[in-house]
Amino acid sequence: MDDDKFHEECGVFGIYGHPDAAAHTALGLHALQHRGQEAAGIVAFDGKHFNAHRDLGQVGDIFSSSAVIARLPGHAAIGHNRYATTGETALRNVQPLFADLSNGGFTLAHNGNLTNARALRHGLVQKGAIFQSTTDTEVIIHLIATSEAGSLIDRMTSALRQIEGAYSLVAMTDSCLIAVRDPLGVRPLVLGRLGDTNVVASETCALDIIGAEFVRDVEAGEMLVLDESGVHSLRPFPPAPRRPCIFEYIYFARPDSMMEGTSIYEARKRIGMELSDESAVAADVVIPVPDSGVPAAIGYSVRSGIPFELGIIRNHYVGRTFIEPAQQIRNLGVRLKHNANRNSIEGKRVILVDDSIVRGTTSVKIVEMVRAAGAAEIHMRIAAPPTMHSCFYGIDTPQREELLASSLDVAGMAKHIGVDSLAFVSLDGLYRAMGETGRDAKAPQYCDACFTGDYPIRLTDFEQSDRPAQLSLLAERA
């Protein structure tokens, strides 16, 4: 895992009406592994009992045994992949969470971040609530448990109307499966169908792996109830302008997924084309920083006419347990994951294409490696605008002062990284790649707060507390 990349908090999956619900959920979580690698869990319901298995690690390690799946019988199941930030990685935080409510058993999995979780949690604790985890997801369960509304759907609606933030969640009771997307649609969620079975997931790639047909995106602010009679759509929130996360298209989502009718792969190619239009430079070869820079590099090459080459080869078999006992060895760490293909680099003017620059530490090492392979010039092109602000909506980002673009201008970053030139796609260019004419400053079509600082959802906890405490809270989210 790369500490100099942003990380999506988690992925969710739910299925209702299939005799092998848990096995299909495990496959779906495999497809969503890129959204979270620290832990995974599945809860299935067999008509009488909620059967759960959660553990730390990756999906293939946790659910590889047929014996584990056999202990998860049921016709309905929900699953979750978690990426822990610098906060606690502990079994008590692994989702889905489960609770026995007055209405019966209830289990919940959540992708995103609540921006008023600290305030809500404080109020609940003052009233006697006892929390078992440090995730903001548990706040939702306590709000449901203490609601005085009638049905569980009404209680859940009451709870969701109290929370602020960005989220997609799946929940399950003894009679239905519930899927909800936040009012602005920041975090993704899709609906699919496998025969007579209904499926929800963070991305369409999770539908593909089980052979399910994509039906549609869950709309912003929509609640779906999946039960024996089918799919029911509810609208528990007042209408609000859509603001899906634009970084899903740049980096987070798998390139073979579709979001809001847009192919992630094609969007990334178009971003590369915009990069070529905006920051052309004389060069001999376009080289992606694998793997996330590949589609944009292809787009850059197509538009510029400069040949595309795999000048950096990625080792896909690097585990997290590699021991780096000394600083001299630690400094070689980038070579564990990447190695320069000298034949494609030596003596050439190279355009390096990457998806983003966060702290810049990996970029420095990549550039040093390409220089050592004999590049005559290195021009770095980034398929995102400069990332100057932290995300509070479910993405693990460093503190703002750790973001390279927050302290240096483009020329300063180029010098720091060691390239002959550096350019980022413009914000308008990014929007053009998404099929817009540009960014509508009065009503932006996406959440782009990491570039602009324009946060579309109130940051209540951040506003009401000192910064260190808030950052500590954010480190323990989802």
Per the annotation, binding residues for [4Fe-4S] cluster are 245, 391, 447, 450
Q: Among 244, 271, 243, 242, which Cα is nearest to 255's?
A: 271
Annotated binding site for Mg(2+): 292, 354-355
Place of tokens 């905006």: 278
> How many angstroms separate the CA atoms of 400 and 124, rounded?
30
For 102, half-sphere exposure in the C-beta direction (CA atoms, 13 angstrom radius) is 14
> How many angstroms separate the CA atoms of 253 and 272, rounded?
17
Which residues are 80's β-sheet partners?
A: 12, 41
| Contacting residues for 141 by C-beta, under 8 A, at least 6 apart | 97, 99, 106, 108
Mark whether 10 is an active-site residue.
Answer: yes
From residue 292, give the alpha-carbon distance in Å to each of 122, 287, 351, 399, 443. Answer: 40, 12, 15, 23, 29
Q: Which two tokens stand for residue 210?
A: 């089980």
> How many angstroms separate the CA atoms of 143 and 478, rounded?
16
The helix/strand/coil state of 447 is strand
- Asked, as a colleague might, if the bond just before 96 is cis with ω within 30 of 0, I would say yes
Q: Among 12, 29, 212, which Cα is nearest to 112's?
A: 12
> How many angstroms separate the CA atoms of 152 and 142, rounded?
13
Tell me whether residue 107 is exposed, middle or buried, using C-beta atoms within 10 angstroms of its C-beta: 0 to 12, 13 to 18, 19 or more: buried
Catalytic residue among 10, 176, 190, 285: 10
Annotated binding site: 245, 292, 354-355, 391, 447, 450
> How many angstroms separate the CA atoms of 235 and 157, rounded?
9
Q: Which two tokens stand for residue 377?
A: 């010039």
> How many angstroms separate the CA atoms of 218 and 308, rounded?
37
Residue 404 Cα to chain centre, angstroms: 21
Any idea which residues carry the catalytic annotation? 10
